[in-house]
Amino acid sequence: MANEHEIPARADVPAEYRWNLSKLSESDASWDASLKAFEAMMDRIPGFRGTLAASSDSLYAALSFNKEYSMADERLGHYAHLRQTEDEGDSGSRGRMARYMMAATKGSGAWSWLAPELQRVPDESIKAWMAEERYAEFRVFLAKILRYKPHVLSEGEERLLALAADSATTPQEAFSVLTNVDLDFGSVDTPEGPRPLSQSTFSSFMHNPDRSVRRAAYQRFYAEYDAHKNTIAQLYAGQCKLDSYQSSVRGFSSSRARELFADDVPESVYDNLVSTVNDNLPVLHEYYAIRKKALGLDELRHYDVYAPLVGQVKVEHSWEEAVGVIAEALAPLGTEYVSTLRSGLLGGWADRYENKGKRSGAFSAGSFFGDPYILMNYKSDVIRDVFTLVHEGGHSMHSYYSAESNPFMHYGYTIFEAEVASTFNEALLFDYMTKNARSAELKAYLLASRVDDILATLFRQTMFAEYEHRAHSMLEAGEPLTVDALRGEYRGLLTKYFGPEMRLEETSDLEGLRIPHFYNSFYVYKYATGISASIALSKKVLSGEKGATERYYDFLRSGGSRFPIEALKVAGVDMSSPEPIKAACSEFARLCGELKVALKV
């Protein structure tokens, strides 16, 4: 853009800098017409009810219509979501998303009979019908539903649960509104004058090189949480109670067992992650010793853990230059991967720059029909944005190959697998940029960034996973989740993970009350397993191991055709073993050694 530092209105963003959503819908008016047609489809749903066990033709007809309905649902939902993120303040987009959600919720209730009725089809019948050639596109879909047979309730009970789905989001939504809207964090005095403190600006303050600014922001931020700690603790306790209720009514032994069942991930994988990371905490403690010495501190405080170890390096990459660097870095994956991603990033896949009202951050949103779209708020003078772009590009290429290689009913992959494809790309970019760094300062900066990334994704997310499990286990053992109980558990983990170099604040354990991912229970461990798998796989590709690149392509093409542990075995890594976690911890230790030399501490 002519001047990236001037934030334009959405209407003023040139078309070549926006994503092209025409594969999802030609226009807003076209979307409106599609929504009406979608709502009309619901009238046909009851006609299939009670027919599934009648014959192979009856079951096939119901599944075919369900596929048609689901395709329409995905198109509508993706378009509405993406249009809303372009400008969160646009009432037309918000209204469109609200209309979609109302229709989708109604449709979910209308289809609530499907899974219970499938469970009642005699096993011998459904096995024989699934063997027919025409059922090929439905086999994985059916197999994943049928494995839930011990946990599916009666038709009436399933309908009640489906209708309660919206109200079940209350703890999460109340937490979001309270922490993002109602809490008033005020402002922080800086050498440049007062600056507003909020959920989104807090991380910027924690990266400020001025320790007095970090301290002031930290104290002000957590003072506000301290004033609302009882309310927020009750919201999280409510989430845990909801998880426990849902797992209990479906016959699971615990909330964790229920959440891991969907991906067919043994609970031993979760336990292996926590125990292996715990065994390797001395390497994390050594990093904090390096950080303390590099910052020249007498004692390391909680507000010092994100302070930059290397000053901001002046390197600029225009969007086109960033795409060029990414293409060079990903060259080990071959011309097919690189050329596809390059043309997408330079074409209509990405919404490149910030505009007024646009959602902050970045994401990739793949679908079966549209391109694997990427939202960015790209800044040419921020090196991290190049890594963000390659990260989201990894997600998008995973979506691209999954949709290309699988039928609609099982093209979607799991979050467990998603974090592999994104962090794999980051590993290749880091390797390329450090080998081609033009200065020792740039190399030190890249090393510090990579170490912090692995720390945040492997160690920190494992700490979060350990906390989630403890909180749910306490509740399931009959212990009340009071604010003091939750803080006590979290403080113990902070002490264990940060080690002897850290001097915690009285309010440090309030951090456990502000993590939004805890309202999407037993999710964060997937970040840690994902980066462990990607480190192992990227080393195989970068070393030129025979067949490694082809196996990685097989993984990307798996989509939802396999459960994640099996899909990763195809790629060449066994996440049911602790070995990939051990290797990731060893890589972290190696990089810390290089960083120590680079920082001369």
Which pair of tokens denotes residue 472?
Answer: 């749910």
Taking alpha carbons only, the member of 274, 308, 211, 294 closest to residue 497 is: 274
Q: Is 549 exposed, middle or buried (0-12, 13-18, 19+ CB in 10 A)?
A: middle
Cα 223 from Cα 29, distance rounded (Å): 48
Q: Which amino acid makes up residue 551?
A: R
Q: How many CB atoms lie within 10 A of CB 296?
A: 7
Task: Say which DSSP state 20 is in.
Answer: -
Instruction: Report the C-alpha gap between 303 and 513 in whole angstroms.
Output: 17
Q: Which of 117, 354, 392, 466 is catalytic?
A: 392
| Cα–Cα distance, 30 to 48 (Å, whole number) | 28
What is the DSSP secondary structure assignment for residue 17, as one 8-state letter? G
- Amino acid symbol at 419: E
Question: Please, what's the b/e burial string for 196-214 (b: 16 or more CB within 10 A of its CB; e: otherwise)?
Answer: ebbeebbeebbebeeeebb
DSSP 208: -
Residue 108 identity:
S
Q: Are 239 and 519 in contact (CB under 8 A)?
A: yes
Residue 489 CA, distance from chain mean position: 25
Distance from C-alpha of 406 to C-alpha of 368, rounded to nearest angstrom:
9
Is 479 among the residues known to form the active site?
no
Task: Kindly give the pairing relationship between strand 363-365 and strand 373-375.
Answer: antiparallel
Phi then psi dihedrals of residue 583, to 5 deg: -65, -40
Count Cα atoms within 13 angstroms, Cβ side, for 441. Answer: 7
Q: Which amino acid is at 92?
A: G
Contact 589, 283 (CB under 8 A): yes
Give SS3 for 363.
Answer: strand
Please tell me the distance from the alpha carbon of residue 528 to that of residue 277, in angstroms, as a whole number: 10
Strands (E), 148-307: 187-190, 193-196, 300-301
DSSP state of 307: S
| Gap between the Cα atoms of 256 and 525, Å rounded | 11
Distance CA 331, CA 338 (A): 7
- The backbone region for 93, taken as left when phi is positive above 0, alpha when psi lies in -120 to 50, beta otherwise, is alpha
Q: At what angle do helices 548-557 and 383-405 cross, to 10 degrees?
A: 70
Q: Give the DSSP per-residue string, 33-77.
A: HHHHHHHHHGGGGGGGTT-TTT-HHHHHHHHHHHHHHHHHHHHHH
Catalytic residues: 392
